[in-house]
């Protein structure tokens, strides 16, 4: 109970930090009203927008007003679309979550089995091949993987569409491109974790009892190697959401990442603030669940 209370306090402090960052973002480069309007805006237009947005008020008062609105999900109206900024973000959020979950699912379904096989056959051709592929995956930027996938599987082979959203075929290439780095990282971590676990005495005891090898690997070895994997998966969820900005642009994916890029280029800062706040909240809540999952994976943490 005490650990959960500490995690909740940590969550609240991080959310406050994100709110300060989102608010400060508007004031880093000068007058926010001048930044929001086109370069050819008149002085009268700048003054009117500054008055309408409350930029003439003291900074502490502006922050309190911003935080009060953020708690209610109110980040103002989009300057480009003339709609509530949070509504635009929520509208695009399912597409981004779909892409991130697909990328993570592809990465885990491929990386964990190959990481286990690589550890069980250490020094074999399979081991060297998996580690070489993992090193390659760690070295390639996800946008380059996406462009390469488009050239090979969409342009030359014509197996998959180049872009779009709505069918499973349109999800394959962006999902692989987004999850390529995580796939390589998880494969290496699974291999190293399994190599450490399979040397333990309880694994030798399980084998001496005559348990089947799949049961030993799944019930005893893999479960005890999950702690570092769960940590990385939780942290990489934020990486997937951040990497979605580029991947969504490459594949014309209608998600929050593409919305952020468009809002920045259009100086639509209410949308940027809402999107950054929502993405940060998803990242923080994901890591909260990861911390809570530790207690169920390893009973020693729960007893401690």
Total number of domains in the chain? 2
Whether this model's pTM surpasses 0.85 = no
Within a domain: 77: no
The residue ranges of the chain whose pLDDT is under 50 are: none
Show the domain range for 56. Answer: 2-72
In a domain, 264, yes or no: yes
Instruction: State residue 241's pLDDT score.
Output: 75
User: Residue 261 and residue 258: Cα distance in Å, rounded?
Assistant: 5
Joined tokens for residue 92? 């695009």
pLDDT of residue 27: 66
pLDDT at position 6, please?
Answer: 67
Q: Long-range contact list for 23-30, CB < 8 A, 24+ apart?
A: 23/62, 23/63, 23/66, 23/67, 23/273, 25/269, 25/272, 25/273, 25/276, 26/269, 26/273, 27/59
Whether residues 55 and 172 share a domain: the answer is: no
User: Does 80 reside within a domain?
Assistant: no
Please tell me the distance from the alpha carbon of residue 215 to that of residue 191, in angstroms, as a whole number.
18
164: left (phi over 0), alpha (psi -120 to 50) or beta: left
Listed residues 13, 47, 72: the one ending a domain:
72
State how far the Cα of 293 lies from the Cα of 304, in Å rounded to an integer.
14
Residue 254 lies in a domain: yes
The rounded distance, in Å, linking the Cα atoms of 51 and 172 is: 48
Task: Check whether residue 32 and residue 123 sit in a common domain.
Answer: no
CATH number at residue 185: 1.10.3720.10
- pLDDT at residue number 3: 59
């Amino acid at each position: 109970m005490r650990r959960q209370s500490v995690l909740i306090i940590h969550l609240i402090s991080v959310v406050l930090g994100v709110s300060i960052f989102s608010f400060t973002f508007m004031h880093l480069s000068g007058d926010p009203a001048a930044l929001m309007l086109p370069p050819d805006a008149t002085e009268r237009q700048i003054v009117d927008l500054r008055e309408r947005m409350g930029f003439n008020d003291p900074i502490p008062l502006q922050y309190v007003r911003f935080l009060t609105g953020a708690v209610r999900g109110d980040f103002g109206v989009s300057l480009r679309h003339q709609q509530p900024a949070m509504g635009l973000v929520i509208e695009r959020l399912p597409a981004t979550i779909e892409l991130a979950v697909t990328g993570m699912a592809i990465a885990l379904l491929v990386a964990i089995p190959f990481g286990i096989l690589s550890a069980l056959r250490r020094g074999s051709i399979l081991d060297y091949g998996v580690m070489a592929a993992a090193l390659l995956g760690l070295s390639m930027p996800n946008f380059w993987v996406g462009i390469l996938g488009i050239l090979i599987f969409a342009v030359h082979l014509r197996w998959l569409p180049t872009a779009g959203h709505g069918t499973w075929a349109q999800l394959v290439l962006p999902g692989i491109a987004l999850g390529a780095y995580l796939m390589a990282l998880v494969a290496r971590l699974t291999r190293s974790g399994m190599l450490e676990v399979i040397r333990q005495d309880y694994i030798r005891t399980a084998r001496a009892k005559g348990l089947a090898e799949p049961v030993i690997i799944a019930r005893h070895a893999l479960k005890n190697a999950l702690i570092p994997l769960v940590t990385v998966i939780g942290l990489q969820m934020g990486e997937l959401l951040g990497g979605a900005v580029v991947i969504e642009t490459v594949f014309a994916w209608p998600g929050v990442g593409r919305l952020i890029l468009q809002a920045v280029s259009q100086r639509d800062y209410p949308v940027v603030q809402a999107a950054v706040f929502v993405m940060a909240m998803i990242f923080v809540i994901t890591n909260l669940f990861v911390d809570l999952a530790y207690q169920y994976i390893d009973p020693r943490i729960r007893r401690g």
